[in-house]
Amino acid sequence: HNITNTEYKSGFVSIIGRPNVGKSTFLNRVIGQKIAIMSDKPQTTRNKIQGVFTQDDAQIVFIDTPGIHKPKHKLGDFMMKVAQNTLKEVDLILFMINAKEGLGKGDEFIIEKLKETSTPVYLVINKIDEIHPDDLLPLMETYKGLFPFKEIIPISALQGNNVEILLEQIKKFLPVGPQYYPADQVTDHPERFIIAELIREKVLHLTREEVPHSIAVAIDSIKKRENKDIVDIQATIVVERDSQKGIVIGKQGKVLKEVGQKARTDIEALLGSKVFLELWVKVQKDWRNKQSQLRDFGFKE
Ligand code: GDP
Ligand code: MG
Ligand code: K
């Protein structure tokens, strides 16, 4: 079993900006290979997941924020409220502008809205391939005077310049948290939560009172093997302390092994197919702070 104790980082990031500044281009570039594109169905009535960027040490969940523009009608008004609520709940906002265009009414409107939330904001100056380098500094100065951006990062979403650096800056900023979505899963399995609960139940049963109910189980991946009635499942048992990790694993991995065997039997009955279950144990000191968000996105814990 692969037992890790790294501080995994994760969080929700909203990309806002006027139409045509390059939001979709940026996401598509980031999505490249390492992303699981979520379905078009909204995950909640409020938010839509646009893409999940997963790495070994971090996961960035990009949230679509529709309607952050000057409302033209009643519905627009409502959309604005929805957008503003989203902005309050994410960990970070990326405000994207077009380097080639000057500050417009649309940008000013968005900046006013940003002032109404306390969520940190990065200014992303896109399309730097279209301007002379000398024009960048004055642009940065102008925007610096309008809002206390946490970072100002010039990029070219089209050509890829600085996109890696932006991703690194986001990762650096995100809080420690669980991997919300499997790295390789496109849609959510309805069975996911039951499987997680089955594993959790075995852990609690086999560790009795030694491990508090604060443990969580995250399903990292569920994959059916092609042309075979075998399902490979990877899951992480998240505990809050190193001592709990030791208990869950047991001497020479005995406890974890038994958890796996018992859970596998139940999951096989649930899915009606043979299951290969791989379990990890991870210490995540304040995963519980993220509980409300997890609930938002359909998790039980
Ligand atoms: P959105 O409306 O904000 O999602 O903008 P899009 O991603 O649809 O991009 C609008 C247009 O800008 C498209 O034609 C893109 O190819 C172009 N575009 C996006 N990013 C860049 C960039 O970094 N440089 C240049 N030159 N064009 C870009
Ligand atoms: Mg777009
Ligand atoms: K949220």
Q: In this predicted model, what pLDDT tens digit does every residue of 60-115 receive, in sequence order?
A: 988 766 555 555 544 455 556 666 777 887 899 999 999 999 888 888 988 988 99
pLDDT, residue 72, reads 53
233 Cβ contact list (under 8 Å, min separation 6): 195, 219, 221, 222, 223, 267, 275, 276, 277, 278
The total number of residues written for the chain in this structure: 301
Lowest mean pLDDT among 40-44, 227-231, 250-254, 268-272: 40-44
Indicate whether 215 pLDDT > 60.
yes
Cα gap 157→58, rounded to integer Å: 21
Q: What is the pLDDT of residue 292?
A: 43
Residues in Cβ contact with 50 at an 8 Å cutoff, skipping those fewer than 6 apart: 15, 27, 38, 62, 63, 64
Mean pLDDT value across the chain: 80
Closest CA to 194 of 233, 250, 247: 233
Q: Is 25 in the pocket of ligand 1 (CB under 6 A)?
A: yes
99 lines ligand 1 (CB under 6 A): no
DSSP code per residue over 57-108? SEEEEEEE-TT-S---SHHHHHHHHHHHHHHHHSSEEEEEEETTS---HHHH
- Residue 34, pLDDT above cutoff 50: no
> Ligand 1, closest atom to CA 19?
2
Does the Cβ of 157 fall within 6 Å of ligand 1? Answer: yes
pLDDT tens digits, residue range 155-207? 999 999 999 999 999 999 999 988 887 766 433 455 676 788 789 888 988 88
Q: Is 130 in the pocket of ligand 1 (CB under 6 A)?
A: yes
Whole-number pLDDT of residue 67: 53
- Give the whole-angstrom CA distance, residue 290 versus residue 292: 6
More confident residue, 231 or 5: 231
Candidates 20, 23, 25: which one to mutate for ligand 1, based on the most atoms within 8 Å of Cβ?
A: 25
pLDDT at 126 over 90: yes
Distance between CA atoms of 125 and 215, rounded to whole angstroms? 41
37: left (phi over 0), alpha (psi -120 to 50) or beta: beta
| Nearest alpha carbon, ligand 1 atom 20 | 22
Q: What is the mean pLDDT of the segment spanning 2-25?
A: 79
SS3 221: strand
- Of 106-115, 219-228, 287-296, give the range with the top mean pLDDT: 106-115
State residue 6's pLDDT score: 65
From the CB of 161, is ligand 1 less than 6 Å away? no
pLDDT at 196: 81
How would DSSP label each residue in 98-114?
ETTS---HHHHHHHHHH
What pLDDT was estimated at residue 253?
96
